């Protein structure tokens, strides 16, 4: 079945699984996304239909219909049997990671990094190559196409018919490939996939990157800022993040009840399907069953909103907690506490530039014009050194200048000042640090930024203590893995934010 255009919202498209054609857009109703996400977070151990029903609020009959369809499409499989309290052992189901794949590409100013991941976020293949982002659109597109086709050939070549193994056809012929996510420095228009004036590279202003890549590669493409992609990867727990702790069951009773439609899932909810819905529907106000003849139809606009503000806020920490700097110790517990207080974190990326990805209530905050997170260009020194953006005294300019002269303590202090401003403005629960420069000296940056936030907390008093600072997982490929999540996360109902 042909893939549908992923558009700018990161919806993904159709794919063909092991058992034939599967339209993933049709699978992406709220209820199906709940079940898929619970299968994903359960891991190889699997989860029973009864547990799925308990944790989604759906009836066992609805769960059986959803899981039967997922098994028929090759997305779910039996993982064995589990003893039950009376009666016969329960059949346990698991996600089939190899039933779907996504490509993620990180375009930095001087480097391209690309990964191919499966449905579980596990990296199947990767590439890395020098890049000049200012070399021109055709040169950059050619490098992206080459990397994507090489990864598809390496990781998915066994699924592609011999006749399709020619340049330019490998991606479109790969039956399990959802598409390509591209992450690069902003600002840009995430919805339209159009770039704005990237700092230092004004030639990209107005370039329709998504359209150009879709035309070139023949698969859906989603474009986002590098910091947003990394933050999404952290929020959904893919690519080395914490997938399981507390995630199974965290959505509990937010499921949409059955409305008795005659043919599968209805889709009449206000706000539409698939993750862009208002946070209310993730709350504890499950829709009751209307009992009916056909599947798990969605029962209407207003009913879902019953649990406004429910579990969505409280789940953020559990979803990404222990992976975010677990090597530092205690990050999982701190993240869980952050989630309980509202579920927010800031991912600060320091590499060839400086930016932020913001997560509130489990979703990436992009803003009305998808321009949120231009963290590096807040002015902290009115008469400071000129920045490539045209202003003076930007945090990015000060921070990179300190790094260039080898003064990491000063670079961390400047970064910490920006983090403290962010914490004071947005009352975030956790700061995660990433990017090549941080990865080269993680202890210096974690301790330096933490010291600034600690000093701020002491000045302000209070009993909560400083905002914790941790090293983000996945290292230097975190942005590329997050770019792949731009295609994967919506399948599990996890891809959208505000």
Hey, which residues does 112 pair with through a beta bridge?
Answer: 107, 129
CB distance 216 to 145 below 8 Å: yes
Q: And the tokens for 342?
A: 């509202």
Most confident residue range from 77-81, 222-226, 267-271: 222-226
pLDDT tops 50 at residue 112: yes
Angle at 143 between CA 137 and CA 146, to 5 degrees: 135
Strands of the 123-130 sheet, one edge to the other: 123-130, 111-118, 101-107, 177-184, 221-225
> By three-state DSSP, how is residue 455 classified?
helix
- Is pLDDT above 70 for 45? yes
Instruction: With a cut of 70, say whether residue 59 has pLDDT above it.
Output: yes
Q: Which region among 78-82, 342-346, 362-366, 405-409 has the lowest average model confidence (pLDDT)? A: 342-346
pLDDT at 168: 55
Tell me, what's the pLDDT at 2? 36
What tokens appear for 23 in the block?
Answer: 């339209």
Nearest residue to 28 via CA among 47, 45, 49, 6: 6
38-47, 104-113, 398-407: least confidently modelled range: 38-47
Q: What is the pLDDT of residue 279?
A: 32
| Ranges 74-83, 98-107, 250-259, 364-373: which has the least confidence | 250-259
309 three-class SS: coil
User: Mean of the pLDDT values across residues 31-58?
Assistant: 93
CA distance 88 to 23: 34
Work out the pLDDT band at 39, boundaries 50, 70, 90: very high
The pTM of the full predicted model, rounded to 2 decimals, is 0.76
Tokens 């992976």 locate to 323
Range name among 18-22, 42-46, 338-342 with the lowest pLDDT average: 18-22
Question: Is the pLDDT at 1 greater than 70, yes or no?
Answer: no
Q: DSSP per residue over 81-93, as a string?
A: EE--SSSSPEEEE
pLDDT tens-digit profile of 447-493?
Answer: 999 999 999 999 988 778 899 999 998 789 999 999 999 999 999 98
Say which residues have a Cβ less than 8 Å from residue 88's Cβ, sequence separation at least 6: none
Distance (Å, rounded) from C-alpha 55 to C-alpha 497?
Answer: 23
Tokens 């050619």 correspond to 142
Half-sphere exposure of 362 (CA within 13 A, CB side): 31
Q: What are 409-431's pLDDT values in tens digits?
A: 999 999 999 999 999 999 999 99
């Amino acid at each position: 079945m042909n893939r549908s255009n992923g558009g700018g919202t990161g919806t993904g498209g159709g794919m063909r699984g092991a058992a034939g054609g599967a339209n993933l857009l049709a699978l992406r109703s709220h209820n199906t996304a709940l079940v898929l996400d619970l299968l994903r977070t359960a891991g190889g151990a699997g989860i029973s239909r009864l547990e799925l029903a308990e944790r989604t609020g759906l009836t066992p009959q609805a769960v059986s219909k959803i899981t039967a369809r997922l098994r028929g499409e090759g997305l779910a499989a039996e993982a064995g049997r589990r003893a039950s309290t009376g009666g016969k052992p329960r059949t346990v189901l698991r996600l089939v990671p190899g039933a779907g794949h996504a490509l993620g590409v990180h375009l930095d100013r001087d480097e391209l990094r690309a990964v191919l991941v499966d449905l579980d976020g596990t990296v199947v293949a990767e590439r890395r190559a020098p890049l000049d982002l200012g070399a021109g659109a055709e040169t950059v597109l050619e490098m992206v196409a080459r990397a994507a086709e090489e990864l598809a050939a390496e990781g998915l070549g066994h699924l592609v018919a011999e006749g399709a193994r020619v340049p330019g056809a490998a991606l479109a012929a790969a039956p399990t490939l959802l598409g390509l996510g591209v992450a690069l420095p902003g600002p840009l228009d995430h919805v339209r996939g159009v770039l704005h004036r990237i700092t230092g590279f004004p030639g990209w202003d107005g370039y329709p990157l998504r359209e150009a890549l879709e035309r070139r590669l023949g698969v859906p493409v989603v474009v986002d800022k590098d910091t947003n992609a990394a933050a999404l990867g952290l929020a959904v727990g893919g690519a080395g993040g914490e997938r399981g702790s507390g995630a199974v069951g965290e959505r509990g009773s937010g499921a949409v009840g059955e409305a008795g439609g005659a043919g599968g899932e209805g889709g009449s909810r206000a706000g539409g399907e698939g993750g862009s819905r208002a946070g209310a529907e993730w709350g504890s106000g499950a829709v009751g069953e209307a009992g009916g003849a056909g599947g798990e139809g969605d029962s209407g606009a207003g009913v879902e909103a019953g649990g406004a503000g429910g579990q969505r806020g409280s789940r953020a920490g559990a979803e990404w907690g222990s992976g975010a700097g677990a090597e530092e110790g205690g990050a999982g517990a701190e993240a869980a506490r952050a989630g309980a207080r509202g579920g927010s974190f800031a991912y600060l990326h320091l590499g060839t530039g400086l930016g932020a990805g913001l997560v509130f209530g489990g979703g990436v905050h992009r803003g009305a014009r998808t321009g949120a997170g231009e963290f590096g260009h807040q002015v902290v020194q009115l008469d400071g050194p000129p920045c490539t953006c045209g202003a003076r005294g930007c945090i990015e300019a000060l921070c990179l200048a300190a790094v260039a002269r080898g003064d990491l303590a000063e670079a961390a202090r400047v970064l910490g000042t920006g983090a403290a401003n962010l914490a004071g403005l947005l009352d975030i629960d956790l700061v995660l640090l990433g990017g090549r420069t941080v990865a080269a000296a993680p202890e210096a940056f974690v301790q330096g930024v933490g010291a600034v936030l600690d000093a701020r907390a002491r000045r302000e008093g209070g009993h909560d203590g400083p905002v914790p600072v941790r090293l983000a997982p996945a290292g230097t490929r975190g942005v590329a893995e997050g770019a792949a999540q731009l295609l994967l996360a919506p399948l599990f109902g996890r891809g959208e934010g505000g």
